[in-house]
Amino acid sequence: MPSLPSLGGLRGRAQDRPSVPVPVPLSAYVVDCGVYVDGKRLPGRWSHTDAVEEVRKRGEGFVWIGLHEPDEEQIQGVADTFGLHELAVEDAVHAHQRPKLERYDHTLFMVLKTVRYIQNSSPDTANEIVESGEIMVFLGRDFVVTVRHGNHSGLAAVRRELEEEPERLTGPAAVLYSIADHVVDNYLDVTDHIEEDIDQMEALVFQPRSRISADQIYLMKREVLELRRAVMPLAVPLRRLAEGYTPLIPEQVRSYFRDVDDHLTEVSERVINFDELLTTLVNAVLAKITLQQNSDMRKLAAWVAIISVPTMVVGVYGMNFEHMPELQWRYGYPMVIAVILVVCLTLYRIFRRNQWL
């Protein structure tokens, strides 16, 4: 009778087999897909292929499809359907891009960095203040494809606001403007919170006998630099859109991009001021630490001087020589103790008057 394979042998064979990745359907990455005609969303659920076929069959309207952190395989179907450039698709999948604007044939590709303020009980105990994410936007004549990275960069509120005001949904350019305006408005909200934290931290720095650490200011400075990396590079793309960089942005929409650019300029100026103020606070804290260390060193030096008096006297009389002054005098010991106390008290009063103690 043939012997059955052992359990260990079966387990070893199973481990030797290469793991086959389970394919994930595109629907797992699609947040929403809608067809818009004359500013109104057509009823029903749409796949990206059915949606673009409906729009091009009608000869009007556009498709807006939103994706959340798709992989290369899943986004490829969308890229083939809408004719997206492979370099832009690669950037959209791997993320970690600077804000930028690029034109590929008849498609516009824009990257925006999103930020979110993390609530903390106090700025001097926070470990993280600003969380960042990304939104990539592919813009065509009859479609908008948004790819999000990060859990806080949702566009559901933007889509809902536009659907409630159909007159604003004039085309893909209007969607791009609304997304850019939403992102920059979040910048303003984050800078308001950071300004409050910096004001609170400034009050702590200049509060008497406060013990705020320079590490927390460095943390705040690092978070402001992260916000700066999101804000500063976006100025050039917005300016190019406002100046007619591509015919995909109609003239009536360009003025709205100028308004977004003005808001971004305000954010940029505030971020620069934050950076300069935090640098000043760092210098103030370091100066405060230096003064505290000098004060501590003076206290140590004063106590060392006071303690050195009895140490010296005791050291002299502890040498056990036979012929030493006052050894045979009856009041020698009390007199030595009295002299030590008088000298120590005199030194203490001198150091106290000079604010060393």
User: What is the per-residue pLDDT for 294?
Assistant: 80
d(CA 184, CA 96): 19
Yes or no: say if 143 and 172 are a contact pair by the CB < 8 Å rule: yes
Query: What are the tens digits of pLDDT across the range 173-197?
Result: 999 999 999 999 999 999 998 898 8
- The answer to which of 60-69, 289-298, 317-326 has the lowest mean pLDDT is 317-326
- The answer to which of 165-169, 247-251, 325-329 has the lowest mean pLDDT is 325-329
Question: CA angle, corner 305, sides to 299 and 308, nearest 5?
Answer: 135
Mean pLDDT of 125-139: 83
In the chain, the domains with their CATH numbers are 18-289 (3.30.460.20), 290-353 (1.20.58.340)
User: What is the per-residue pLDDT for 138?
Assistant: 95
DSSP of 231-293? HGGGHHHHHHHHTTS-TTS-HHHHHHHHHHHHHHHHHHHHHHHHHHHHHHHHHHHHHHHHHHH
147's tokens: 């790819």
User: What is the per-residue pLDDT for 121?
Assistant: 61
Torsion on CA atoms 259, 263, 266, 270, rounded to nearest 10: -170
Yes or no: say if 237 and 257 are a contact pair by the CB < 8 Å rule: no
User: What is the per-residue pLDDT for 23?
Assistant: 45
Yes or no: say if 176 and 109 are a contact pair by the CB < 8 Å rule: no
pLDDT at 320 over 80: no
> What's the whole-model pTM score?
0.75
Rounded to the nearest integer, the mean pLDDT of the chain is 83
For 209, residues 6+ apart whose C-beta sits below 8 A from its C-beta are none
Mean pLDDT of 208-221: 78
Query: What are the tens digits of pLDDT across the range 278-302?
Result: 888 888 888 877 777 787 788 888 8
In this prediction, residue 20 has a pLDDT band, given cuts at 50, 70 and 90, of very low
User: What is the per-residue pLDDT for 203?
Assistant: 85
pLDDT at 94 over 50: yes
Comparing 130 with 327, the larger pLDDT belongs to 130
- The answer to which of 37-41, 129-133, 146-150 has the lowest mean pLDDT is 129-133
